Amino acid sequence: MAVEKLNLITLLAALFLVHAPMKAAEDTLDVSVDIARHFNNAMTSVYEKVSPSVVVIDVVTPMKGRQKQLPPEIELFLHTPGKGEDSALSPMEGSGIIIDANGYILTNAHVVEGVPPKSIRVRLKDGREFKGTLKGVDNFMDVAVVKIDASNLPMAKLGDSDAVKVGQFAFALGTPFELQDSFSMGIVSAKGRNHLTPTSNFEDYIQTDASINPGSSGGPLCDIEGHVIGMNSVINGLNRGLGFAIPINLANSIAQELIRNGKIVRPWIGVRIASLRNDENFRPFAKDLTDGVVVKAISPESPAMKGNLKPGDIILSADNKPMLTDSDLQKYIFQKKVGEKVELLIWREGRKQTLKIMTETFPDSIFAKKEIDIEKESRKEPAVYTPEMLGMQLQDLTPALQKKLKGVSKGGVLVSSVEEGRALDAEIRPADIITEIDFHPVSSRADALDALHHANMENGILVQIERAGEKSFYIIK
């Protein structure tokens, strides 16, 4: 890292000299050193401004409980006990940012998730230690607020993450590997990173090459002015040049609501989506469209399902605002209030139409449970294998099965088994109910076999599925 910084300083000096007037040889070195000195002072100034507001968060909690709750990519951030430490209690360590002089501290939810009362300790730069109280957690966005009983604390100055530009300097602070007060430098290498892990599908991360290591989670990412532009949150490849931070505008807005209400009430329409431009398999079904948001799945009893949205629909706009990517739609819905209507312009089977959907509160649980032994039930009625080595075995959906599979639409054909073949590759599973094939409704095994016989295998077969109440589609290639 030191070599990288030296090369950067040399480059800055060289760029200055290219545009500077010709000077005497003895002045050239002085100019280069002066530039390096100014840059050096700027970096140390960032550290001096920000470091007093960065804290260490120690958590002692039963190891088994943490292992169950935290995925592997999150564990990378946390210090795990060495040999000789109590195996029943696991000390974890992360970082935090003082955002209020009266003791409110911003950190990641995974740093304090699932901890018992009185197990949080907060250590300030000046050495003082406090017991921390968990004020609120938003697991969905990986944001939490811890409160300590203190006043007149050094607050971080928050910047505007919307104004951040790729290529600008970025500085990360935190406590990697129990090394408090660590400071690293890099640049903002990308913005708007999404879907990095299964637990981080909705944030637009700031990507940086500033060194971020275990224990830095919850610490600040700053600009050259010493303003916090992000909260370090996810690493990809331990100290290999890929660090990610939640934009501070988003993190702080969540933190302020947690401080006021102790929880987050988030609007929801109940769709799983993807950007059309990134969905190579679905693009042949979208004809001349290049941008939009593909509805991949719809949650049971959701606003989207109540509003007649279907898997395979392409959302073009919301309230007359173009929706070019899945991130555009996610951000827009999160800005709405619970109970507020959203007018969606969609493309369905070559035609545009408008749907009105009313947002609801984001539920604690999205998926319904389905209690049925499909292998046992399928023995009661003959089944037929699909053609073209698809590997699906289908049977008619009898009234008895319809009753057992609560919440499904009338009609469709049951997938009673899936063996080696293209259907298995497309992630179709036993107990799925096929309701449409290439946008044509199927109500029996005969309908399905006929539709499959006429399908275009080169483009792929678009199969509408109901699974545990969720409606979705899969493409068999």
List the catalytic residues: 110, 142, 217
Q: Report the alpha-carbon distance of residue 387 to residue 389 in Å, rounded.
A: 6
Structure tokens at 367: 């998926």
Longest dimension (CA), the chain: 96
Burial (CB count within 10 angstroms: exposed 0-12, middle 13-18, buried 19+), residue 448 = buried
Residue type, 48: E
Q: Are 259 and 292 in contact (CB under 8 A)?
A: no
Among candidate residues 252, 233, 95, the one with its CA nearest the CA of residue 158: 252
Structure tokens at 255: 């933190």
Structure tokens at 224: 């050259």
Number of helices (H) and strands (E), helices first, in the chain?
12, 27
Structure tokens at 75: 């564990």
Reported in sequence order, the residue ranges of 411-477 that DSSP labels E, i.e. its strands, are: 413-418, 433-437, 440-441, 461-467, 470-476
Q: Are 359 and 459 in contact (CB under 8 A)?
A: no
Structure tokens at 187: 């640049």
Among candidate residues 443, 439, 441, 445, the one with its CA nearest the CA of residue 462: 439
Residues 6+ apart with CB under 8 A from 104: 98, 135, 145, 146, 147, 255, 259
Structure tokens at 192: 């708007």
Q: Report the alpha-carbon distance of residue 253 to residue 443 in Å, rounded.
A: 48
Q: Report the alpha-carbon distance of residue 168 to residue 177 in Å, rounded.
A: 27
Q: Are 122 and 150 in contact (CB under 8 A)?
A: no
Tokens 């501070």 belong to residue: 248
Alpha-carbon distances, residue 153 vs 48, 50, 53, 98, 202 (angstroms): 15, 12, 8, 8, 32
List phi, psi (to 5°) of 31: -65, -45
